[in-house]
Amino acid sequence: MEILDQSVAAEVANQLLEIQAIRLQPDKPFTWASGWKSPIYCDNRLSLSYPKVRSLIKENLTKSIQHYFPEVEAIAGVATAGIPQGALLANDLDIPFVYVRSKPKGHGMENMIEGKVVTGQKVVVVEDLVSTGGSSLKAVEDLRKAGFEVLGMVAIFSYGFALADENFKNANVKLIVLSHYEAMLPKAVERNYIDQTMLESLSEWRNDPENWKK
């Protein structure tokens, strides 16, 4: 995982906290589908309702693609939250857009990928959030099976798990994120969302999420 810019990482984290796209509850943790307890809930779809934040994200995702993947020919959004972000980017870059379903459409053509499939087309995948990378990399696999050349992935936010880094490395996918967990924590302290005790607990979760609070 790489980030575009440290100052951008701090500002994106700050804005996500301000609009409550990121919620922190170390004393009343959320439960993920995997069964993991989590002190953080991140819903970046909320950013779409705030023009200032939406523009900040769009502009810096566009810069990320132009810097790291200048040969891009198309954008692929991961359903569902990556679809609107991807469409905004594709429009900014004036290139084609497709999106990848989590499972094939249950009727009609039963498509996994919606949009024009062009064999060999160089595509960058867009995600809103990366946790372990499982669903994100499943989309990459589906795009590759369809004949696309996947250059890499950009995302708004990552929890920064070592497991995710390993999964992306094994899949040979370069991941660029605007912000991440470590950039968010100082901003949360600065805004008095958390105190020092909570900060320690939040740091422990990132290091061992599977066993945190067991």
Residues annotated within a binding site: 101, 105, 107, 127-135
CA distance readout (Å), 53 to 16, 19, 31, 38? 8, 9, 27, 25
Give the DSSP letter string of 36-62.
Answer: -EESEEE-GGGGGG-HHHHHHHHHHHH
Per the annotation, binding residues for orotate are 131
Q: Which two tokens stand for residue 166?
A: 């390993």
Angle ∠(117,2,161) on CA atoms, nearest 5: 95
Binding residue ranges for 5-phospho-alpha-D-ribose 1-diphosphate: 101, 105, 107, 127-135
Provide φ and ψ at 117, rounded to 5°. -90, 120
